[in-house]
């Protein structure tokens, strides 16, 4: 099964993740983002997620 998500959604997650890495004060949100973004990126690399821009 392939999920179609817009390309900007990955850029948004990575941008927020990068900002949080620079601010160590938001630890709870940081852990949530890590738990959310890493599986998404893994699925994308494996080809299970399709960009709407294709």
pLDDT at 54: 46
Boundaries of domain holding 25: 3-51
What is the b/e burial string over 27-45, where b = at least 16 CB atoms within 10 angstroms of the residue's CB? eeebeebeeebeebeeebe
pLDDT in tens, the chain (54 residues): 666 777 777 788 888 877 777 765 556 666 777 777 777 777 777 776 655 544
Which residue do the tokens 């998500």 mark? 5
Number of domains in the chain: 1
pTM over 0.85: no
Structure-token pair, residue 6: 């817009």
| Start-to-end C-alpha separation, the chain | 17
């Amino acid at each position: 099964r392939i999920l179609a998500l817009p390309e900007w959604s990955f850029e948004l997650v990575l941008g927020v993740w990068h900002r949080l890495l620079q601010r160590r004060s938001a630890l709870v949100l940081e852990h949530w983002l890590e738990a959310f973004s890493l599986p998404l990126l893994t699925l994308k690399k494996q080809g299970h997620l399709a960009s709407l821009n294709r």
